[in-house]
Amino acid sequence: METTWTEQLRTAGLRVTRPRLSVLGVLAEHPHVDADTIATAARTVHPSISPQAVYGVLKALVGSGIARRIEPAGGPALYELRVGDNHHHLVCRECGLIADVDCVVGQAPCLQPSDAAGFAVDEAEVVFWGLCAGCQVARRTHVHGTNSAIEEGVTA
């Protein structure tokens, strides 16, 4: 898996650079991260990387279909490497945790709204909002404090 990054970049017509490999490394470890977290994490392996380089890399990756950008309401954009399999997301209202959901309907699922109003639909984006397991427990225990750590744990 790891060794294909170089090939993937080359195939996409992109040069293989340190910043790009660093960002890909971070994305592989953390399924859903924002640009700032990527920058911080990437710096442990490539200290001189700049925030703008991260934005540039991400734009290139998204543009060539290697990564995907998701923008949950009320937060910064997140990036993930899982592309092309039309999956959706569960977002925790409390802590921001994100989990993947495979599409309920099959391959091209929600692509048919009841009334398309003349639109040529090419993508259906589905976001499920709710409370993750951890935050449900925290709320039941009446520990109403905000455990707002945005961590990645549900990878399965």
Partner DNA sequence: CCCGTTGTCTTGAATGAGTCAAATCAAGAG
Partner DNA sequence: CTCTTGATTTGACTCATTCAAGACAACGGG
Q: Which of 55, 127, 131, 154 binds DNA (CB under 7 A)?
A: 55
- Residue list 58-117, contact with a copy of itself (CB under 8 A): 69-71, 73-74, 77, 88, 90, 92, 99, 101-104, 110-117
Side-chain-side CA neighbours of residue 153 (13 Å): 10
Minimum CB distance to a copy of itself smaller for 52 or for 128: 128
Minimum CB distance to a copy of itself smaller for 45 or for 116: 116
Angle at which helix 35-43 crosses helix 18-29, to 10 degrees, equals 110
The C-alpha atoms of residue 107 and residue 19 are separated, in whole angstroms, by 34
Query: Cα-flanking dihedrals φ and ψ of residue 82, to 5°?
Result: -70, 110
Query: Cα-flanking dihedrals φ and ψ of residue 91, to 5°?
Result: -120, 130
Minimum CB distance to DNA smaller for 60 or for 138: 60
Asked whether position 14 contacts DNA by CB under 7 A, the answer is: yes
CB 19, CB 42: distance < 8 Å = yes
Asked whether position 43 contacts DNA by CB under 7 A, the answer is: no
The C-alpha atoms of residue 63 and residue 75 are separated, in whole angstroms, by 21
Radius of gyration from C-alpha coordinates of the chain: 18
3-state secondary structure of 71: coil
Sole window of 8-16, 85-93, 94-102, 125-133 interacting with DNA (rule: CB under 7 A):
8-16
Question: Where does this chain bind a copy of itself (CB under 8 A)?
Answer: 69-71, 73-74, 77, 88, 90, 92, 99, 101-104, 110-133, 136, 154, 156
Binding interface with DNA (CB under 7 A):
9-10, 14-20, 34-36, 48-53, 55-57, 59-60, 71, 76-77
